[in-house]
Amino acid sequence: MSIRERLSGNEAVAYAMRQINPDVFAAFPITPSTEIPQYFAQYVANGQVDTEYVTVESEHSSMSTCIGAEATGCRAVTATSSCGLAFMYELLYVAASSRLPVTLACVNRALTGPININNDHSDSMGARDTGWIQLYAENNQEAYDNYLQAMRIAETPDVRLPIMVCQDGFITSHAVENILIEEDEAVKAFVGEYHPEHALLGRETPLAVGPYDISPYYMEHKVQQAEAMKNAKRAVLDVAADFEKTFGRKYGFFEEYCMEDAEVALVLIGSTAGTAKACIDQLRAAGRKVGLIKIRVFRPFPGEELAQALSHVKAVAVMDKSEGFSACGGPLYAETCAACYDLPERPVLVNIVYGLGGRDVATEDIARVYDHLFLLTRNGGQGPKYIHMGQRSSEAEVL
């Protein structure tokens, strides 16, 4: 039986961790993810888990600890945000290329500088090419549910890649919502035990991890890694199907909201989807055909599926909550454009960079984006493609 409980996003993730009782937790605080190791410390102190709780001196060491523990044959977890994730950068690659399915709760926060503690996606978007699977949540329920599914996806034998379970700093991490949580035994049964084929300890033969790899082998290893990420697509769907069967909540690569007959649509990630849905409900009531695609899985990127879902739409605004400094749009925009390129008839695509450093986005802002999209359907897609929303200093303000 599911239980209704009021939990913040951080508490929901920590609660899921308690239920799973991972082998090793490497803990280092950074706003806004700090509460996760704090809640967990109390579980350790109360004897509610028997996890080895390692209070390291930096995020660099928390990821290093996870790498060592995971190679040993254990489930290793950590949580971080922003600069903490950036500090792990080199080790993110080590975890992925060593095929160690570490689970990282990423509470998204803007990257410094100037230093800013509020939400955007620049931290995990910066890590998008490190070889990690990335799941994103709209709300506390999804943060909890994604966490319950994460290890099974990551540990799938033909995947074996680390996984980032992302949620929006403060917006979901600190906001308390009424969510459904599952019983401990049901969670344990769903997540299961971890028995990797190879490990540093407790196997007949010793194991060597992390070689110096020269040109005749390196590329084969990279291709295996790339194949693993492709395999992760199927694992995401398989685990989601079992999750739905077990707990009744449905997940996929992305959520489509009012897309069947949509003329214009948004593609975005995270909590802004809630705001967009409220706006869509208002506009639909007024007879306007607007829709939304909320990306849940950014790595592996569901390019074909997304293109298919957008194929009947006239104009699309891809909303990036991070600035990639590519001079031609944010990372979600680049991926979406690439995905749509092979469509026989492509929608007009524009990029809206928004909400950086926690700048608020309201339903009125979303409504203006839809107005702009309708304008593009009438003028043949004329105008700027790469727009920053709500710029007080912008002279040529589009939105």
Rounded to a whole number of angstroms, the minimum distance from the CB of residue 136 to other proteins is: 27
Q: Of the two residues 8 and 130, which places its CB atom closer to other proteins in the complex?
A: 130
Give the nearest distance from C-beta 52 to other proteins in angstroms.
Answer: 4
Residue (84 or 291) nearer to other proteins, CB: 84
The continuous run of DSSP H or E covering 312 comes out as none
Nearer to other proteins, 72 or 118 (CB): 72
Nearer to other proteins, 12 or 91 (CB): 91
CB of 207 to other proteins, least distance (A): 5
Closer CB to other proteins, 60 or 234, in the complex: 60
Q: Smallest distance, Å, CB 393 to other proteins?
A: 40
Core vs surface per residue 169-207: b (16+ CB within 10 A) or e: bbbbbbeebebebbeeebbeebbeebebeebbeeeeeee
Taking Cα atoms as reference points, which of 384, 378, 386 lies closest to residue 352? 386
Binding site for other proteins (CB under 8 A): 23-24, 26, 50-52, 54-58, 60-61, 64-74, 76, 90-91, 94, 98, 200-202, 206-214, 217
What is the distance between the alpha carbons of residues 51 and 75, in angstroms, rounded to a whole number?
10
Q: How far apart are the first and last CA of the chain?
A: 46
Please give the Cα distance from 105 to 37 (Å, whole number): 10
Shortest reach from residue 201's CB to other proteins, in Å: 6
The neighbour count for residue 117, using CB atoms within 10 Å, is 17
Q: What is the DSSP letter of 255?
A: E
In whole angstroms, how far apart are CA 269 and each of 20, 122, 253, 260, 321? 27, 12, 11, 20, 8
Complex with other proteins: residue 214 or 327, whichever CB lies closer: 214
> Least Å distance between CB 72 and other proteins?
4
Q: In whole angstroms, how close is the CB of 266 to other proteins at the nearest point?
A: 40
Nearer to other proteins, 217 or 341 (CB): 217
* Cβ–Cβ under 8 Å, residues 247 and 185: no
Q: How far is the CB of 247 from other proteins (least distance, A)?
A: 27
Parallel, antiparallel, or unpaired: how do β-strands 254-257 and 290-295 relate?
Answer: antiparallel
For residue 386, give the DSSP letter.
E
How far apart, in whole angstroms, are the C-alpha atoms of residue 99 and residue 258?
38
Judged by CB, which is closer to other proteins: 215, or 393?
A: 215
